Structure 1
Amino acid sequence: MSLDNPLTVLYKEINGSKITTDIYLPSTSSASPQKYPVVIDIHGGAFMLGHSRMVSLPQVKDCLDRGWIVLVPNHRLCPGVNLLEGPMQDIRDLLTWIHDGHLNKVLCSHGAYSADIDNIAAFGTSSGGTLALGLGFNIPRPVKAILSLYGAVHFTDPFWKTPLPHVASKLPPNLDPGFLSQTYQEIPIPTDSSVSLEGQSEAEGSKGPNFSRPRDAFAFTQIANGTVMDAIYPDGKTTDPDMERIDPVKNVSAEFPPTWIVHGLEDTMVPIGLSRELYGRLREAGVQCGMTEVPGEEHTFAMLMKVGSRTWWLQREGFDFLEGIIGEGPQTAPN
């Protein structure tokens, strides 16, 4: 199974949305069942953009080389559903799907693989980092360790209502509100979009958004205007108590899983101070944790970094941390 051709399976269906996860398997020469730790890798996109093929394949390969099974899930995209009930719930349901034995049922027909459900970790970039952190609280069985790469957190900070002129400058003038509102009318709620914030696009040769598509224009307009929180909580729910339930910073406790944070010092989309606030809360609670601050890097650097570069080795500290918690694979599965 190559990086270009993962196994794709349905893990959830709701209101017509068919939600899948890609499964990447490490190489094996064993004919007998082997147990492998599992890592969930969650794509970014401000909760409104992206899909499972828009992740760093060198990061996936690094995980496979450590002997881990890697799951890269899709989730429903805001704003047709809010963050708590949509993306966050979908990723939590994926974890339940794994714990309930469904992943192992899939693996039964794919060689000598068995998921070690006692050793599951999660990581993600940008909004994917937030969703990975969401597997550490308000659920019955959290993951064993978490890595957040420049994840969006600390939603009570004034930054989340601050316009970003450098994003606004990329938008065409006078976008029609009716055109933008078409994003709310997509039924069933989509689980993928053709562009992400990581600079990828499905269009051949394209490196950015296509503002003739309502979703691209809508998402970048919210980011530019400082209204992302309004977009991922439609209908004026930004003062709802549920907001407290989505913010990892508000949900740190002594029981929070071991967590590592990686963040670029030059990030203008999710300032590094937000991650520093989370790191401080983790330390105060006595959670096993660490943070790598990457010099010279903006938001979404994971998709642009070169293997072997200084940034590559710095961000790998987070994966080394995960390995220290969930271990390497494989192990011989019991009969």
Structure 2
Amino acid sequence: MSSGSESRVPLDGAPLTFAYKHVDGDQLLLDVYLPTSASVAGPRTDLPSVPTVIYFHGGGLTVGNRQSWFPGWFQGRLSSLGYIFISADYRLVPPSTGHDVLEDVEDVFRFASRKLNPALDALYSSQPVGSPPGNAHENDGSSLGMCCKCYVDPNAIAVSGTSAGGLCAYLAAAHVTPKPRAVLSLYGMGGDFLTPHYLSPKTKPFLRGREILDPAAFSEFLYPFKELRTTSNSALAYHPPSHPIPGYPANPRMLLGRLYLQLGVMLDYYTGKHEPSLSTALRNVPASSDTGQFDTAAARHLIHDEDIRLFPQFNVTSDWPPTILVHGTSDTAVLFHDSQNMQTLLERAGVEVVMLTVDGKEHSFDYAPDAETSYKSEFDTVVEFLARHLQQDLK
């Protein structure tokens, strides 16, 4: 779940846009940012296959698209390294569930590793080297400009995401085959879903001190849904200066993540288990008689077998990819504990894991105006970590 300003401008212009699947007549899209090195002429066999990083946006799983909260610092560094950067849409909750999100994550990887190179081939064959840039979304090759003509190395793909996108990255790490070479989660959800933050109703401000929401204002998005259309694209929108609350979210989906946390029912919408309510069942799990702490083992038995796939904490194994976690200690949207717990689970499994702790910082700290200066060390460390695990397969 993300908050803060809209996306940063992508480095060096527009991407190439592809539909990676169709659902109920709608296209699910991803954007491909080619690296910024000079183009390479010649037949396909002479073009490089380069590392690729797939990115999933934040938004509490309920709002956003592949251009929302765009991590310009990240894409820019990767493009300069000669890597392909992919930002993908996925179906939003509700009416979709985490099962749909997981299916989309798997399909993004399937498209990137198997179908994207032939699609790029078609563009390259129709576009001379160094032609002037045009409209990328036409996918006619005119947007290539001076970008590097290259291909995805299917053996060198990493996954990344911020907030809810970090959860998508965890799902990829657990379930995509072959597994990503490395994982980046920036203040990612899902490191521990079995906490009061996700399960307990709240009556006082809890997220950045913002007001408690009136559920009646969001009846369209509360179960049972009547005519809620499936979507993978819900752009951010804010009220103008003339509004009584200038800058307040104008798209109601931007408040849904906070609403579901407030009501303590986030996991009902995530799993689709409303009747009976999974959140209520988990909320009532008694403390362990041995430790006095929340009984995770007892809670696990209340989660349906088909839903266990959606809980990263129950899917960490020794073959989980090397992972780097970044989280602010004062995060009120996704608690610092989420990443701490994921770090603990990965260490127990013998997985290489690096935690970058950003003291005193809130959610979405990397979108602050001075982020490039304030967090340059963290940003550089993130990219160096991914490069180390991707370069070993560079052809």
Give TM-score scaled by structure 1 length: 0.87
Q: 2:160 aligns with which of 118, 123, 130?
A: 123
Hey, what's the Cα distance between the residues in 2 that align with 1:187 and 1:125?
Answer: 26
Q: 1:98 to 1:35 in 2, by over 3 A?
A: same
| Cα pair 1:17 1:188 within 8 Å, conserved | no
1:135 aligns with 2:145: no
The alignment status of 1:227 with 2:237, answered yes or no, reads: no
* 2:48 alignment counterpart: 34
Q: Cα 1:116–1:234, aligned 2, differ >3 Å: closer, same or farther? A: same
Contact (CA 8 Å) 1:183, 1:215: kept in 2 or not?
A: no
Distance 2:254 2:189 in 1: 19
C-alpha distance in 2, partners of 1:177/1:298? 26
TM alignment of 1:137-286, pairs within 5 A: 137-153=174-190, 154-162=192-200, 163=202, 165-167=205-207, 169-170=210-211, 173=214, 175-176=216-217, 178-181=219-222, 184-185=225-226, 188-195=229-236, 201=237, 207-210=247-250, 213-236=251-274, 238=278, 239-286=303-350
- Once structures 1 and 2 are overlaid, which stretch shifts more, 215-224 or 278-287? 215-224
Q: Distance in 2 between matches of 1:34 and 1:216?
A: 40
Answer yes or no: is the 8 Å Cα contact 1:122–1:147 preserved in 2. Answer: yes
Pair 1:216–1:2, CA change in 2 (3 A): closer
The 10-residue stretch of structure 1 (171-180 or 140-149) with the greater mean CA deviation from structure 2: 171-180
Structure-1 separation of matches of 2:24 and 2:215: 34
Aligned residues: 322
2:348 alignment partner AA: E
Q: More deviation in 305-314 or 295-304? A: 305-314
Structure 1 runs not aligned, ≥5 long: 196-200
1:214 deviates by: 4.4
Question: Deviations for 1:136-169, whole angstroms, at most 9, x for unmatched residues?
Answer: 1233311111011111121123321133623484
Structure-1 residue corresponding to 2:18: 9
1:241 Cα shift?
Answer: 2.8
In 1, the alpha carbon distance for the partners of 2:385 and 2:240 equals 37
2:120 is matched with: 107
Shift of 1:207: 4.6
Q: Percent identity among equivalent residues?
A: 25
Partner SS, residue 32 of structure 2: strand
The verdict on how the C-alpha distance between 1:49 and 1:177 changes in structure 2, with shifts beyond 3 A counting, is closer
Which one is further off, 69-78 or 108-117? 108-117
Letter matched to residue 319 of structure 1: V
- C-alpha separation in 2, matches of 1:83 and 1:67: 33
Contact 2:64/2:235, CA 8 A, preserved across alignment? yes
- Distance in 2 (alpha carbons) for counterparts of 1:15 and 1:5: 28
Q: CA deviation at 1:326?
A: 0.2
Shift of the alpha carbon at 1:103?
Answer: 0.8
Aligned AA (2:117): N
CA shift for structure 1 position 316: 3.1
Identify the structure with bigger relative contact order (alpha carbons < 8 Å, sequence gap 6+).
1
**Aligned partners of 1:329 and 1:255: how far apart in 2?**
17
Q: Mean alpha-carbon deviation: is it higher for 122-131 or for 240-249?
A: 240-249
Question: Structure 2: any 5+ residue segments left out of the alignment?
Answer: 1-9, 130-148, 279-302
SS of match in other structure, 2:258: helix
Q: By how many angstroms is 1:135 displaced?
A: 1.1
- TM-score where L is the length of structure 2: 0.74
Superposition RMSD in Å: 2.7
Matched AA of 2:105: I
Distance 2:261 2:82 in 1: 38
